[in-house]
Amino acid sequence: MPELAVSSRSVPALAIDRLTYSYPRAARPALAGISMQLGAGEFALLAGRSACGKSTLLRAACGLVPHFHGGEISGGVSVAGLDAVACGPGELAGVVGYVAQDPETQVVSTTVAAEIELPLEMRGEPPASRARAVEEVALALAIPQLLDRTVDTLSGGEVQRVALAAALVTRPRLVLLDEPTSQLDPVAGDELIWLLRRLNEEWGVTILLAEHRLERCLAAADRVIAMDSGSIGFDGTPGDFLAWAGESDPALETPGARLFSLAGIDPLPTGVREARAALAREQSVEERAGGLAGARVASQGAPPPRKLQLSERVGGALRRQGPRATAPPAASIRDLWVELGSGDELRDVLRGVELKVRPGERIALMGRNGAGKSTLLRTAARLVQPVRGKAEVANGIALLTQNPTDFLVRERVEDELPGELGLAALQTVGLEHALDADPRDLSGGERQRLALAIVLAGREKEHQSLPGLIALDEPTRGMDRARKDELVRLIERLAADGAGVMVATHDVEFAATFAERVVLLGDGVVIADGDASEILSGGWYFATEVARILDVPGVVTPEQGAVFLGDGRAPRPQGEREAGD
């Protein structure tokens, strides 16, 4: 091996020494005394609650902090031997690639091919080298069909993959990714994680990946770094992290780990394969449910669990019928056809969609990237005109779009939502502490919650002010599980007050907690429409982690899975919460 290659691998890909940083006007530091190193070729997962400092740490590692955001900084940051505080993002671009939580803000070119080629052009690479690199990274990310597309015709998930391609095209030594799967469908999300693992193993690229949906990537990581209020709370192996999370912060547990914890099975699994293997070693799922597990509980002095019927196993998740089933629909979509683009790019995005939403109904709108989910919501909100059909909504619609920055126009959070109603909305989403903060300095999850508060401000206070349909497009980007649970409670309250709620989401775990019904889109048509417990189980990609582990119809949450495994715990009916949750 050449001497240069040996010496470059001996230098840490990232070295941080006692780093402390505060955003301008911030009441407390976003990072407090951080020290850590990433060796060449490591794959590290950055975990932690919303606003714990994950995004700020990534920004510091690529020079955006403090060069772009300003503020006060002390300590050192070194990337492949370069001083990130002294150099700034331009000089670091050759050794570090960065994909932000809101990748739409990174895209500056007209076409996809030009966007991916831009970093190479800025480095002065020859045309043949640029063309080969663009083709290779497009193939690796399964987006060659997008190369000739204009950027403004892409879905949110497609924009995310294009931003990643632009970050990878220079083959940097360190790649920083902030919630890279947040807008990707389950198939594309899994493919992305294993692509990163392949780049890590075959190219030696060091990966630092910040993510809330840990079940997607924990099995691929060598190391987990968990942050807590600007400091490092844990640094170790994925298996040790799960044990730490169970004791220190259960909101960071994966669904599979929570399933095993509730069922009293050790060790906790880092992924589906490991979980299925562990269950197979003990006995088959069916035997555990009716045999040994019952004997174990009986030996502890509790009666053995009876065999549960399907409707009981799913914890009462079947949709309630009754008066609302015959009530006039909150939204009615009939034979809806929508075309987007122009010229050669003109295409049918929605094709004959038929859909009704009842008052008080909670619906998860799911499907692969580009299936038409956002277009359906935007058409219902009259932001897009159909070429045929109608989308009628009783009493109007409140729409939260994918990009929260579209809603943020002031320099202070309090100015975005002034007055008593504004404060009440901020308290609803847990942002009353950030009144003086600049909205652009908030974490991605906090910006998402602020945009949600702006959309809903005052509406939940008076029943008469509620729109017929509340539509949320990927509202959980940047949210930890605790914040998602708060959003579930808000959705339930709005639905209980009579609004139909439709949420476009790729997060199957979130869908399993709030939705009564799932509408699955594929290439602009409705391909499935039914009970959430049925659609989110029995499959592979559009299924929860618990459903993939157990493969039992109707069992989609850890609590339901624990009942099926026979530990005697009863799941709470959907929509109910214990006091203090």
Q: How many helices (H) and strands (E) does the chain have?
A: 25, 19
Contact 60/16 with Cβ under 8 angstroms?
Answer: yes
pLDDT of residue 272: 94
Contact 199/176 with Cβ under 8 angstroms?
Answer: no
pLDDT of residue 154: 86
Q: Please provide residue 369's backbone torsions phi and psi, each rounded to the nearest 5 degrees.
A: -60, 135
Q: How confident is the model at residue 349 (pLDDT cuts 50, 70, 90)?
A: very high
Is 254 or 161 the better-scoring residue by pLDDT? 254
Three-state DSSP state, 301 = coil
Q: How confident is the model at residue 306 (pLDDT cuts 50, 70, 90)?
A: very low
Residue 288 has pLDDT above 80, yes or no: no
State the average pLDDT over residues 529-547: 92
Contact 223/43 with Cβ under 8 angstroms?
Answer: yes
Q: How far is C-alpha 473 from the chain's CA centre? A: 12
- Computed over every residue of the chain, the mean pLDDT equals 85
pLDDT of residue 88: 80
Spatial distance between the Cα atoms of 474 and 213, rounded to a whole number of angstroms: 14
pLDDT of residue 25: 83
Name the helix (H) or strand (E) containing 73.
Answer: strand 72-79
Q: How confident is the model at residue 367 (pLDDT cuts 50, 70, 90)?
A: very high
Domains of the chain: 39-66+88-250 (3.40.50.300), 254-317+554-571 (no CATH), 323-553 (3.40.50.300)
Percent of the chain with pLDDT over 90: 57
Percent of the chain with pLDDT over 70: 87
Residue 66 preceded by cis peptide, ω within 30: yes
How large is the greatest C-alpha to C-alpha distance in the chain, in angstroms? 76
What letter represents residue 178's amino acid?
Answer: D
Residue 31 has pLDDT above 90, yes or no: yes
Q: How confident is the model at residue 302 (pLDDT cuts 50, 70, 90)?
A: very low
Q: How confident is the model at residue 406 (pLDDT cuts 50, 70, 90)?
A: confident
Q: How confident is the model at residue 298 (pLDDT cuts 50, 70, 90)?
A: very low
Spatial distance between the Cα atoms of 352 and 358, rounded to a whole number of angstroms: 20
Residue ranges of alpha helices (H) inside 264-357 are 272-282, 285-287, 293-299, 310-313, 323-326
Is 107 or 78 the better-scoring residue by pLDDT? 78
Residue 284 has pLDDT above 60, yes or no: no
State the average pLDDT over residues 548-565: 93
Residue 120 has pLDDT above 50, yes or no: yes
Q: Which residues pair with 72 in a beta bridge?
A: 22
Residue 287 has pLDDT above 60, yes or no: no
pLDDT of residue 309: 40
